């Protein structure tokens, strides 16, 4: 039985070797396909959409002011901002103070700062009102930086 299988195995091995060399198992496309980059269609990312609410204060700040002359403070504000209320916050504010103005297409925010610098008053725009005060009051909590959290001082007392 061994003798019959030996020629059969030899012929099978030779035919497989000859048959394997005679055909190409892969086409050029299949052979080089792993090396080619895949085509990817580019889809641009959609732009972010933002909604911005414009408040009446911002709308009035877009106004450009052009004015030259010497007028009272109340007239300088009232002529340029007729829709806004003028509110002095303390009794030291003199709305009849004369002011010399030269404003050429000045944005409203800069115009208010300009009037504030000319009069030495704090002038600010809040909720359709122009607030005018003769002094600025600010508070700071410095307890965070203090080693003694509770300190009481008297006017005229020596610190030490």
Q: Model pTM greater than 0.75?
A: no
Query: Domain-by-domain residue ranges, the chain?
Result: 62-133
Q: Give residue-wise pLDDT tens across range 116-146.
A: 999 989 998 888 889 999 876 667 677 666 6
Q: What angle do CA 62, 104, 114 make, to 5 degrees?
A: 75
- Note whether 58 and 108 are within 8 A (CB): no
16, HSE (Cβ side, Cα atoms, 13 Å): 6
CATH of 62-133, one of 3.40.50.2300, 3.55.50.30, 3.40.50.620, 3.40.50.150: 3.55.50.30
Give the strand pairing for 129-133 and 64-72: unpaired
DSSP string, 118-148: HHT-EEEEETTEEEEESS-------GGG-SS
């Amino acid at each position: 039985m061994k003798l019959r299988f030996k020629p059969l195995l030899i012929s099978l091995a030779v035919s497989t070797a000859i048959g394997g060399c005679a055909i190409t198992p892969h086409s050029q496309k299949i052979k080089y396909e792993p090396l080619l980059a895949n085509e990817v269609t580019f889809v641009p990312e959609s732009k972010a959409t933002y909604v911005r609410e414009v408040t009446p204060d911002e709308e009035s700040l877009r106004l450009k002011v052009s004015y030259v002359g010497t007028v009272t403070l109340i007239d300088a504000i009232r002529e340029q901002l007729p829709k806004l209320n003028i509110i002095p916050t303390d009794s030291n504010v003199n709305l009849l103070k004369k002011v010399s103005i030269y404003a050429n297409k000045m944005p409203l925010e800069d115009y208010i700062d300009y009037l504030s610098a000319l009069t030495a008053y704090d002038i600010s725009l809040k909720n359709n009102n122009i607030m005018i005060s003769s002094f600025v009051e600010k508070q700071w909590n410095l307890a965070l930086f203090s080693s003694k959290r509770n300190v009481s001082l008297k006017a005229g007392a020596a610190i030490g």
